[in-house]
């Protein structure tokens, strides 16, 4: 039985983005319906050409980088490609950052408002990172 998993990413720290990406990729690969809503500090890491590393909160973030854990960008890409997860950018964040859908990685769907995301998420699990 598949579930509806809805993930909100607002943090720009490596550990939180990594956990959100792991949840999205595992859930999508397991056949769950996955939607990830990116806003605030999380969205900037998915602007084309931004190769900056997300800052770490603690020791674990550094360990992940040194031990070869697949990075969050790769996991989100795999979730969208292999598991058909929807990656949605927050329209308000895009307006504030002065970016368009063309500025984002190709896996991203259309700009979406928070109200629309919450309506679409009704009845599913909602996780925030």
Question: Tell me, what CATH number does 69's domain have?
Answer: 3.40.1260.10
Token pair listed for 14: 């490596």
Number of structural domains found in the chain: 1
Residue 122 lies in a domain: yes
What is the predicted pLDDT for the residue at 1?
Answer: 60
How far is it, in rounded angstroms, from Cα 17 to Cα 122?
A: 23
The residue length of the chain stands at 129
Residue 40 lies inside a defined structural domain of this protein: yes
Contact 44, 50 (CB under 8 A): yes
Low-confidence residues of the chain: pLDDT under 70: 1
pLDDT of residue 9: 98
Domain annotation covers residue 112: yes
pLDDT per residue as tens digits for the range 59-86: 988 898 889 899 999 999 999 998 789 9
pLDDT of residue 83: 78
Q: Which domain holds residue 42?
A: 14-128
In a domain, 3, yes or no: no
Asked, for residue 2, whether it belongs to a domain, the answer is no
| Domain presence at residue 7 | no
């Amino acid at each position: 039985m598949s579930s509806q998993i809805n993930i909100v990413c607002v943090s720009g720290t490596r550990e939180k983005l990594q956990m959100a990406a792991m949840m999205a990729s595992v859930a999508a690969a397991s056949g769950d319906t996955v939607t990830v809503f990116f806003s605030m500090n999380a969205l900037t890491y998915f602007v084309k050409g931004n190769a900056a590393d997300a800052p770490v909160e603690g020791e674990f973030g550094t360990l992940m980088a040194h031990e070869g854990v697949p990075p969050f960008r790769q996991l989100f890409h795999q979730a969208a490609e292999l598991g058909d997860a929807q990656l949605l950018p927050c329209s308000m964040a895009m307006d504030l950052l002065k970016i368009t859908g063309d500025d984002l990685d190709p896996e991203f769907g259309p700009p979406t408002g928070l109200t629309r995301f919450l309506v679409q998420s009704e009845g599913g699990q909602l996780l925030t990172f």
